[in-house]
Amino acid sequence: MDIVLVPLLLLLKSVFSLALVIVVVDVVLGWLLVANILNSRNQLLCAIINSISRVSNFMLQPIRKNIPITAGALDISPIVLALFLAFAEHVVDRILIRFI
Protein backbone atom coordinates (compact mmCIF):
# COMPACT_ATOMS: atom_id res chain seq x y z
CA MET A 1 0.00 0.00 0.00
CA ASP A 2 2.87 2.40 0.78
CA ILE A 3 4.29 1.77 -2.69
CA VAL A 4 1.31 3.49 -4.27
CA LEU A 5 0.21 5.90 -1.56
CA VAL A 6 3.50 7.72 -0.92
CA PRO A 7 4.15 8.68 -4.59
CA LEU A 8 0.50 9.65 -4.94
CA LEU A 9 0.72 11.93 -1.90
CA LEU A 10 3.97 13.44 -3.19
CA LEU A 11 2.28 14.13 -6.52
CA LEU A 12 -0.66 15.73 -4.73
CA LYS A 13 1.71 17.90 -2.72
CA SER A 14 3.43 18.99 -5.93
CA VAL A 15 0.08 19.87 -7.51
CA PHE A 16 -0.82 22.02 -4.50
CA SER A 17 2.55 23.78 -4.67
CA LEU A 18 2.22 24.40 -8.40
CA ALA A 19 -1.31 25.76 -7.97
CA LEU A 20 -0.08 28.13 -5.28
CA VAL A 21 2.72 29.38 -7.55
CA ILE A 22 0.26 29.91 -10.42
CA VAL A 23 -2.07 31.99 -8.24
CA VAL A 24 0.77 34.14 -6.89
CA VAL A 25 2.22 34.68 -10.39
CA ASP A 26 -1.22 35.63 -11.71
CA VAL A 27 -1.71 38.22 -8.97
CA VAL A 28 1.75 39.70 -9.48
CA LEU A 29 1.35 39.81 -13.28
CA GLY A 30 -2.01 41.53 -12.84
CA TRP A 31 -0.40 44.20 -10.67
CA LEU A 32 2.43 44.67 -13.18
CA LEU A 33 -0.05 45.08 -16.04
CA VAL A 34 -2.12 47.62 -14.14
CA ALA A 35 1.02 49.58 -13.26
CA ASN A 36 2.08 49.56 -16.95
CA ILE A 37 5.37 47.90 -16.09
CA LEU A 38 4.74 45.08 -18.56
CA ASN A 39 4.18 45.79 -22.24
CA SER A 40 0.62 44.73 -22.98
CA ARG A 41 1.26 44.92 -26.74
CA ASN A 42 3.69 42.00 -26.71
CA GLN A 43 1.70 39.06 -28.11
CA LEU A 44 3.83 36.34 -26.51
CA LEU A 45 3.59 38.00 -23.10
CA CYS A 46 -0.17 38.41 -23.48
CA ALA A 47 -0.54 34.73 -24.44
CA ILE A 48 1.43 33.66 -21.37
CA ILE A 49 -0.51 35.98 -19.07
CA ASN A 50 -3.85 34.80 -20.51
CA SER A 51 -2.89 31.14 -20.01
CA ILE A 52 -1.86 31.72 -16.41
CA SER A 53 -4.97 33.79 -15.81
CA ARG A 54 -7.27 31.07 -17.20
CA VAL A 55 -5.77 28.42 -14.93
CA SER A 56 -5.89 30.74 -11.94
CA ASN A 57 -9.48 31.83 -12.63
CA PHE A 58 -10.49 28.16 -12.98
CA MET A 59 -9.30 27.60 -9.40
CA LEU A 60 -10.67 30.90 -8.08
CA GLN A 61 -14.12 30.71 -9.66
CA PRO A 62 -15.68 28.36 -7.06
CA ILE A 63 -14.44 30.62 -4.26
CA ARG A 64 -15.76 33.76 -5.96
CA LYS A 65 -19.12 32.10 -6.64
CA ASN A 66 -19.74 30.58 -3.21
CA ILE A 67 -18.03 33.09 -0.93
CA PRO A 68 -18.51 36.68 -2.06
CA ILE A 69 -15.34 38.13 -0.59
CA THR A 70 -14.42 41.59 -1.79
CA ALA A 71 -13.05 44.53 0.08
CA GLY A 72 -13.99 47.39 -2.18
CA ALA A 73 -12.03 46.89 -5.39
CA LEU A 74 -9.72 44.36 -3.74
CA ASP A 75 -10.39 40.70 -4.53
CA ILE A 76 -9.49 38.54 -1.54
CA SER A 77 -10.25 35.18 -3.18
CA PRO A 78 -6.56 34.54 -4.12
CA ILE A 79 -5.67 34.89 -0.44
CA VAL A 80 -8.40 32.42 0.54
CA LEU A 81 -7.18 29.97 -2.12
CA ALA A 82 -3.55 30.40 -1.06
CA LEU A 83 -4.45 29.69 2.56
CA PHE A 84 -6.43 26.61 1.54
CA LEU A 85 -3.60 25.30 -0.65
CA ALA A 86 -1.03 25.87 2.08
CA PHE A 87 -3.27 24.10 4.58
CA ALA A 88 -3.84 21.16 2.22
CA GLU A 89 -0.11 20.91 1.55
CA HIS A 90 0.63 20.76 5.28
CA VAL A 91 -2.03 18.08 5.75
CA VAL A 92 -0.38 15.99 3.05
CA ASP A 93 2.99 16.57 4.75
CA ARG A 94 1.61 15.27 8.04
CA ILE A 95 0.19 12.20 6.32
CA LEU A 96 3.52 11.58 4.56
CA ILE A 97 5.37 11.72 7.88
CA ARG A 98 3.37 8.72 9.06
CA PHE A 99 4.41 6.67 6.03
CA ILE A 100 8.06 7.63 5.76
Q: Which tens digit of pLDDT belongs to each residue from 4-49?
A: 899 999 999 999 999 999 999 999 999 999 898 988 888 999 999 9
- The region that residue 72 occupies, defined by phi over 0 for left and psi between -120 and 50 for alpha, beta otherwise, is left
pLDDT number for residue 88 = 95
Predicted TM-score (pTM) of the model is 0.86
Domain regions of the chain by residue span: 2-99
Sign of CA dihedral 95, 57, 44, 30: negative
Q: Would you state the pLDDT for residue 7? A: 92
> Given this model, what pLDDT does residue 1 score?
67
Which of residues 1 and 36 earns the better pLDDT score? 36
Q: What is the pLDDT of residues 56-90, one digit of tens each?
A: 999 999 998 888 766 677 888 899 999 999 999 99
Reported as type and span, the H/E element at residue 74 is: strand 74-75
For residue 100, pLDDT over 90 is answered with no
